[in-house]
C-alpha cells in the first residue's frame, strides 16, 4: 500500500525531471514552443479535473496547431512520459531498499524474506531446500512484440535512473547536489536532441544484439547477486545453501530463431546469432577471469592445484592465465567464424564443463587452504554465472510453423515417388514417419533440389546439426495440432545428422488446438518409438496471444487453464514429467500482467518446480533494464514458482467450473459475433485505430501480417492489441466479458462471483487484470478518434463498443466490490492518474495527425505520427 508521505520522493523526482525537461525545451526550442506546451499541459490537467470548457478548449487548441509546432509538442509530452516511467521504476527500487534498511517493517509480498519466513512455518526444511535447489525456471526473451524505443534513448534513460539513485545514496553536500542536477540536465538535453525513430527496420541480428545488451548491462551482475541472497536465505531457514551448479533461473531467446511468419530469419541468421551469443559469453567470462588474475595473488594452494600448475609461485594466477589464454583463443575463433575467415589453430572452449573444471579446482583449493572467504567472492559469482549462462548466455529456440515441415516432407516423398505426404491422412503420416525414424538408411537423396521454401527448412536443420545443443534450446512448432507435426521435426533432425536432437515442443494456440492438446499428446505418448525417445519428459507450449485473438480474453484464459489441467492429469496417468511453456505477451490481452499473481493463479500441479515463459520485447526493458527492477523480478519468479510447487492452490469447485463454462460461452459468442460476424467491423477497425500506420513503424524485423489478407485472422496478435491500446479502448482485453458477467449478475449469481473472486486465485487474477485495463482505458478518448476518423455510417458501431466498455466496467466492479478500478492498488491507480494529462494531448494530436496523413497531403507529418505512437505506448506502459 502507499500513502502521501512514502510517495513524496517520487513526486519530487517527477517534478525535478519535468522541470529540467521544461528548461531544456525553453532553451533549445524557444519561448514560443515552451508556452504552447505549457498551455496544452494546463488545459489537459483542467480537462481531467472536470473544469467546464477545458476539454473543448484543449481539442480546439490542438486542432489549430501549425505543422511546425506539432513535432515539438508531441516530443515534449512523449519525453515527459518516458521520464515519469524512469522515476516510477526508480521509486520501486527505492522502496525495496528502504524496506531492507528497516527490519521492523513488513516484508514485501513475494520477496525472498517474506516467502521463507511464511513458508518455513508450514513446510519441512528438507522439502523447502529441495524445492528451491531444483527450481528450473527459464525466461525466454523474444523480439517480435514491439519495443518501440531506440536503444540509444534507453541507454540515456538508464543513466538518468543511475543519477537518481546516486542522488538518493549520497549524504550530499550542496556541490554534490548541483553535480547530480547538472548531469541530469545534460542527459535530458542529450535525449531531447536524439531521434526517437529508427531510420531502418532492425534485422534479426540487431534484435539479438539488443537482447545481449540486456544480459551484459544488467543481468550479468544481477544474477549472481540474486543467487547470493537466495543462498543466504536457504542457509538461514534450512541449514544448507545453494549448490555451486544450481541454476534456478536461466535465459533463452527467440531472437534469431523465431522464423514463424518472418522470412528474414534464415538458417544463416540463426547460425550468426548463436555465434554472437557465444562471442559475448566468452567476452564477459574473459573480463571476469582477467579480474580474478589480478585478485588471486595468493600463494597457499592444495596439492591438487599445485600439481596442475607445476608448483608455480602464484598458483591461482598461473591456472587462471591458462584459462584466460584459452578464452582469448575461443574469442578469436568465434570472430573468424562470424567474419568468414580461417579460424586460428588451438584448443577452444566448446563445452561449459571445460571452463567450469579449472575454476572449480581454484575454488576448492581456496576453501581447503582456509581462504574460503576469498573463494566465496568474485570466483563464486563466476561459477554461479557459468551455471546460469553457460557458454552461450541464452540458448536460442527454433520456431517454425507446422505447415512448413509438411511442405518439405511432401517435396521429399514426391521426389522419391512415394506420393504426396501432404495428401496423406494422419494414420498414413504416422506410419511413414515412425518407419523412417526407426530406419538407419538416409531418406533424402543427395542430389535432392527442392524449391526455395523447402530448401530453407532443410538448411535450418543442417545448422542445428552444426551448432549442437549447447547453442540451441527447443524446437517449437506453431500451429501444431496432431502427432505427425511433432514426429516430422524429429525425422528432419535425424535426416540432418543432429547428434542429440533438440526437444520438440508443440505450440497449441487457437481455441480448437487448445481443446485438442490433451488428445494430441496422448496419442503421441502412445507411440512406442516416441515414448522411448523422450525419456519421460515432455514440454508443451500454450499460446496466449492467438488464443485471445481467436476467442477473446475470458474464453482464452479459461481454455488455457483447462488445457493445463488436462495435460497435468495426462502426465500423471502416463508417468512423464511435463513442462509447460507459457507464450505470454506484455499486454493483458496477450496474457501479460504481474508475475507473482499470474504464476500463483495457475492450476494446481501445473508448475511443479518447472516453468518456461516468454518475456516479450516490449516489457524486457521495463522488467530487466534497471538492476533493482531486474533483481525484484528474478525474486518474484523464484518465490512464485517455489510457492506454487510447495503450496499449490486448491482446484476450483464444480459449481465454479460450471459458471466459468457459461461465462466463457457467452464471452466467446459476443467476441466472435463482433470481430468475425459483423461485416462492418474490419472497416471500422481500420478507420478508428492507427493499425495501418503501426505497420510502418520500424520497430521489429517481423511483418505485421502472416498473410496478405484484410481480415483480423491474418493480423498478428501484437499489432491487433497495439492498435486498440493506442486509442485507449483496449478492446481485446475486455470484449465479451461485460456481457458474460452481466448475464450472470442478472441471473442472481453475484454472491457466487464475489466468492470466486475472494477464494479462487485464477479468477481473482483475471478480474484484477481487467481492472488494470479499465483503469488505463478511456472511452471518451476513443470517441475523439471516431468523431474525426470514422465515416458516419460506421460511427454507431463505435458508440456501441463504448457502451459495452462502460457496462463491462460496471460488471467488473460489481464482482470485485470496488468503487473504482484498482481501489486496492493505489500506487498503480495514482500512476495512471499522473499520466492521463500527458497521454490525453498525445491522443488528440494523433487524431489530428491521422486525419492529415490519411488525406495524403501531409507526408512531412508521418514522423511526428510515429513519435506520437511511441509516446502513447510509453504512457500506457505497454504496446502489444
Q: For the chain, which residues make up each domain, given as ranges? A: 8-134+145-198, 267-389, 400-584, 654-876
Three-state SS annotation for 22-72: HHHHHHHHCHHHHHHHHHHHHHHHHHHCCCCCHHHHHHHHHHCCCHHHHHH
Closest CA to 281 of 187, 349, 223: 349
For residues 654, 660, 662, 665, the Cα torsion angle rounded to the nearest 10 degrees is -140
Question: Nine-digit cell at 334?
Answer: 568465434
pLDDT at 707 (0 to 100): 54
Which residue has better confidence, 144 or 491? Answer: 491
Q: How far apart are CA 400 and CA 380, in angstroms?
A: 39
Least confident range from 591-600, 739-748, 775-784: namely 591-600
Comparing 637 with 145, the larger pLDDT belongs to 637
Whole-number Å distance between alpha carbons of 849 and 841: 12
pLDDT band at 585 (very low <50, low <70, confident <90, very high): low
β-pairing verdict for 537-543 and 395-401: unpaired
Per-residue pLDDT, averaged over 351-356, amounts to 96
The string of pLDDT tens digits covering residues 686-701 is 999 998 888 766 555 4
Q: 482-507 pLDDT, tens per residue? A: 999 999 999 999 999 999 999 999 99
Q: If DSSP codes are grouped into helix, strand and coil, which group holds residue 257?
A: coil
Sequence-ordered list of residues with C-beta below 8 angstroms from that of 53, at least 6 positions apart, any chain: none
Which residue's entry shows cell 480537462? 47
- pLDDT of res. 592: 46
SS3 446: coil
Q: In 3-state terms, what secondary structure has residue 611?
A: strand
Q: When comparing pLDDT for 451 and 203, which is higher?
A: 451
pLDDT band at 319 (very low <50, low <70, confident <90, very high): very high
Number of neighbours of residue 574 by Cβ within 10 angstroms: 15
Dump pLDDT digits (tens) for 323-337: 999 999 999 999 999
Segment 539-561 mean pLDDT:
90
> What CATH number has the domain spanning 400-584?
3.20.20
Closest CA to 258 of 396, 462, 406: 396
Q: Write down the pLDDT at residue 827.
A: 78
Could you tell me how many residues make up the chain? 880
Average pLDDT, the chain: 90
**pLDDT above 50: residue 596:** yes
How many Å is the Cα radius of gyration of the chain?
28
CATH class of 267-389: mainly alpha
> At residue 703, does pLDDT exceed 60?
no
Give yes or no for residue 150 having a pLDDT over 80.
no
β strands within 380-469, DSSP E: 395-401
How many C-beta neighbours within 10 Å does residue 435 have? 11
User: CA–CA separation, 508 vs 435, rounded Å?
Assistant: 26
Give the residue among 745, 507, 559 at the shortest CA–CA distance from 665.
Answer: 559
Known catalytic residues are: 144, 549
Question: Which residue in this structure is represented by grid cell 570472430?
Answer: 335
pLDDT confidence band for 146 (50 / 70 / 90) = very low
Better-predicted residue by pLDDT, 572 or 829: 572
- Give mean pLDDT, residues 655-682: 96
Q: Which of the four pLDDT bands, split at 50, 70 and 90, describes residue 104?
A: low
CB within 8 Å of 495: residues ≥ 6 apart = 442, 443, 444, 461
- Nearest partner of 205 among 266, 152, 261, 250, judged by Cα: 266
- How far from 406 is each of 94, 484, 526, CA to CA, in Å? 54, 9, 22
**Cα–Cα distance between 144 and 328 in angstroms, integer?**
33
Instruction: Name the residue with cell 525417445.
Output: 533
pLDDT at site 712: 62
pLDDT at 2: 44
**Are 110 and 636 contacting, i.e. CB atoms less than 8 angstroms apart?**
yes
CA atoms within 13 A on the CB side of 403: 4
The residues near 863 (Cβ < 8 Å, ≥ 6 apart) are 71, 197
Residues 721 and 554: their CA atoms lie apart, in Å, by 15
- Tell me the pLDDT band of 880, cut-offs 50, 70 and 90: very low
Average pLDDT for 413-421: 96
What is the pLDDT, as a whole number, of residue 588?
45
Question: How high is the pLDDT of residue 244?
Answer: 95
Determine how many CB atoms are found less than 10 A away from the CB of residue 391: 21
Tell me the sheet residues that pair with 614.
Answer: 140
Cell of 327: 578464452
3-state helix, strand, coil in the chain (%, to 5): 65, 5, 25
Residue 342's Cα: distance from chain center in Å?
38
User: CA quadruple 278, 279, 280, 286: dihedral positive or negative?
Assistant: positive
In angstroms, the CA 779 to CA 775 distance is 11
Half-sphere exposure of 854 (CA within 13 A, CB side): 17
| Model confidence at 293: pLDDT above 90 | yes
The predicted pLDDT at position 103 comes to 64
Model confidence at 857, pLDDT cuts 50, 70, 90, reads low
Banded model confidence at residue 145, pLDDT cuts 50, 70, 90: very low
pTM here is 0.92
HEC string of 666-703 equals: HHHHHHHHHHCCCCCHHHHHHHHCCHHHHCCCCCCCCC
pLDDT of 664 reads 97
Cell of 649: 492452490
Residues 6+ apart with CB under 8 A from 122: 647
Q: What is the pLDDT of residue 67?
A: 83
Q: 198-212, 460-474, 556-570: which range is least confident on average?
A: 198-212
* Residues 153-187 pLDDT 10s: 878 888 998 898 887 776 778 888 899 999 999 99
Q: How confident is the model at residue 704 (pLDDT cuts 50, 70, 90)?
A: very low
- The two domains 267-389 and 400-584 share their CATH topology (first three levels equal): no
- Dump pLDDT digits (tens) for 253-277: 999 999 987 889 999 999 999 999 9
What integer is the mean pLDDT of 100-120?
Answer: 83
Phi, psi of 452 (to 5 degrees): -60, -40
Amino acid at each position: 500500500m502507499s500513502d502521501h508521505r512514502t510517495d513524496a520522493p517520487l513526486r519530487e523526482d517527477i517534478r525535478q525531471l519535468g522541470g529540467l525537461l521544461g528548461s531544456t525545451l525553453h532553451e533549445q526550442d524557444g519561448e514560443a514552443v515552451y508556452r504552447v506546451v505549457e498551455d496544452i499541459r494546463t488545459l489537459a490537467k483542467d480537462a481531467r479535473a472536470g473544469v467546464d470548457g477545458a476539454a473543448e478548449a484543449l481539442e480546439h487548441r490542438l486542432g489549430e496547431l501549425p505543422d511546425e509546432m506539432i513535432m515539438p509538442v508531441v516530443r515534449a509530452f512523449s519525453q515527459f512520459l518516458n521520464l515519469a516511467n524512469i522515476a516510477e521504476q526508480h521509486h520501486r527500487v527505492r522502496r525495496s531498499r528502504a524496506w531492507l534498511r528497516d527490519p521492523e517493517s513488513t516484508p514485501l509480498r513475494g520477496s525472498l524474506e517474506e516467502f521463507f519466513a511464511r513458508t518455513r512455518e508450514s513446510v519441512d526444511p528438507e522439502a523447502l531446500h529441495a524445492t528451491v535447489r531444483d527450481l528450473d525456471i527459464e525466461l525466454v526473451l523474444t523480439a517480435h512484440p514491439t519495443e518501440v524505443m531506440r536503444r540509444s534513448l534507453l541507454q540515456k534513460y538508464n543513466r538518468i535512473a543511475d543519477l537518481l539513485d546516486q542522488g538518493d545514496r549520497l549524504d550530499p553536500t550542496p556541490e554534490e547536489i548541483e553535480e547530480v542536477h547538472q548531469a541530469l540536465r545534460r542527459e535530458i538535453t542529450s535525449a531531447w536532441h536524439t531521434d526517437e525513430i529508427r531510420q531502418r527496420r532492425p534485422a534479426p541480428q540487431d534484435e539479438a544484439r539488443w537482447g545481449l545488451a540486456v544480459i551484459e548491462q544488467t543481468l550479468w551482475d544481477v544474477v549472481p547477486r540474486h543467487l547470493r541472497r537466495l543462498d543466504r536465505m536457504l542457509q538461514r531457514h534450512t541449514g544448507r545453501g545453494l549448490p555451486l551448479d544450481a541454476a534456478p533461473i536461466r535465459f533463452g531467446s527467440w531472437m534469431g530463431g523465431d522464423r514463424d511468419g518472418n522470412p528474414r530469419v534464415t538458417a544463416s541468421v540463426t547460425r550468426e546469432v548463436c555465434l554472437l551469443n557465444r562471442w559475448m559469453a566468452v567476452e564477459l567470462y574473459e573480463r571476469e577471469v582477467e579480474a580474478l588474475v589480478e585478485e588471486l595473488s595468493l600463494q597457499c594452494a592444495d596439492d591438487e592445484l599445485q600439481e596442475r600448475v607445476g608448483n608455480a609461485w602464484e598458483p591461482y594466477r598461473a591456472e587462471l592465465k591458462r584459462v584466460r589464454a584459452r578464452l582469448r583463443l575461443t574469442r578469436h575463433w568465434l570472430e573468424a567464424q562470424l567474419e568468414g575467415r580461417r579460424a586460428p589453430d588451438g584448443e577452444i572452449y566448446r563445452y561449459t564443463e571445460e571452463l567450469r573444471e579449472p575454476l572449480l579446482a581454484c575454488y576448492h583449493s581456496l576453501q581447503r587452504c582456509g581462504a574460503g572467504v576469498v573463494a566465496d567472492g568474485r570466483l563464486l559469482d563466476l561459477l554461479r554465472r557459468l551455471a546460469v549462462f553457460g557458454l552461450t548466455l541464452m540458448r536460442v529456440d527454433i520456431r517454425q510453423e507446422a505447415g512448413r515441415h509438411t511442405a518439405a516432407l511432401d517435396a521429399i516423398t514426391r521426389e522419391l515417388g512415394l506420393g504426396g505426404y501432404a495428401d496423406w491422412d494422419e494414420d498414413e503420416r504416422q506410419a511413414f514417419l515412425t518407419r523412417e525414424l526407426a530406419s538407419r538408411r538416409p531418406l533424402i537423396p543427395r542430389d535432392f533440389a527442392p524449391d526455395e521454401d523447402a530448401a530453407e527448412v532443410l538448411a535450418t536443420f543442417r545448422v542445428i546439426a552444426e551448432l549442437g545443443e549447447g547453442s540451441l534450446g527447443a524446437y517449437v512448432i506453431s500451429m501444431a495440432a496432431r502427432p505427425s507435426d511433432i514426429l516430422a521435426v524429429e525425422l528432419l533432425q535425424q535426416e540432418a545428422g543432429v547428434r542429440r536432437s533438440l526437444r520438440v515442443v508443440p505450440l497449441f494456440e487457437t481455441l480448437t488446438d487448445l481443446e485438442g492438446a490433451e488428445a494430441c499428446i496422448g496419442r503421441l505418448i502412445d507411440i512406442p518409438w516416441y515414448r522411448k525417445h523422450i525419456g519421460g519428459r515432455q514440454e508443451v507450449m500454450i499460446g496466449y496471444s492467438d488464443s485471445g485473438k481467436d476467442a477473446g480474453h475470458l474464453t482464452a484464459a479459461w481454455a488455457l487453464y483447462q488445457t493445463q489441467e488436462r495435460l497435468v492429469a495426462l502426465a500423471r496417468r502416463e508417468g512423464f514429467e511435463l513442462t509447460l511453456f507459457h507464450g505470454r505477451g506484455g499486454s493483458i490481452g496477450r496474457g501479460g500482467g504481474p508475475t507473482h499473481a499470474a504464476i500463483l493463479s495457475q492450476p494446481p500441479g501445473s508448475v511443479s518446480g518447472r516453468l518456461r515463459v516468454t518475456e516479450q520485447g516490449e516489457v524486457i526493458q521495463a522488467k530487466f533494464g534497471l538492476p533493482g527492477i531486474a533483481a525484484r523480478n528474478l525474486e518474484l519468479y523464484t518465490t512464485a514458482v517455489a510457492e506454487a510447487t510447495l503450496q499449490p492452490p486448491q482446484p476450483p469447485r464444480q459449481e465454479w467450473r460450471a459458471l466459468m463454462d457459461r461465462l466463457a460461452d457467452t464471452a466467446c459468442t459476443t467476441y466472435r459475433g463482433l470481430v468475425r460476424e459483423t461485416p462492418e467491423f474490419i472497416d471500422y477497425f481500420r478507420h478508428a485505430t492507427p493499425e495501418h500506420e503501426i505497420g510502418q513503424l520500424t520497430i521489429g524485423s517481423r511483418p505485421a501480417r502472416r498473410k496478405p489478407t484484410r481480415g483480423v485472422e491474418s493480423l498478428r496478435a501484437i499489432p491487433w492489441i497495439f492498435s486498440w491500446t493506442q486509442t485507449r479502448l483496449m478492446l481485446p482485453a475486455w470484449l465479451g466479458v461485460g456481457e458474460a458477467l452481466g448475464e450472470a449478475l442478472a441471473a442472481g449469481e453475484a454472491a457466487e462471483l464475489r466468492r470466486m473472486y475472494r477464494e479462487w486465485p485464477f479468477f481473482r487474477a483475471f478480474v484484477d487484470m481487467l481492472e488494470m485495463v479499465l483503469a488505463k482505458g478511456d472511452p471518451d478518448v476513443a470517441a475523439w478518434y471516431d468523431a474525426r476518423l470514422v465515416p458516419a455510417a460506421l460511427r454507431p458501431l463505435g458508440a456501441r463498443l463504448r457502451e459495452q466498455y462502460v457496462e463491462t466496467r460496471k460488471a467488473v466492479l460489481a464482482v470485485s466490490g470496488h468503487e473504482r478500478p484498482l481501489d486496492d492498488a493505489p500506487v498503480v491507480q495514482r500512476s495512471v492518474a499522473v499520466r492521463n494529462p500527458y497521454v490525453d494531448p498525445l491522443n488528440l494530436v494523433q487524431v489530428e495527425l491521422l486525419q492529415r496523413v490519411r488525406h495524403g497531403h501531409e507526408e512531412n507529418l508521418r514522423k511526428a505520427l510515429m513519435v506520437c505512437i511511441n509516446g502513447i505506448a510509453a504512457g500506457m506502459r505497454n504496446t502489444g
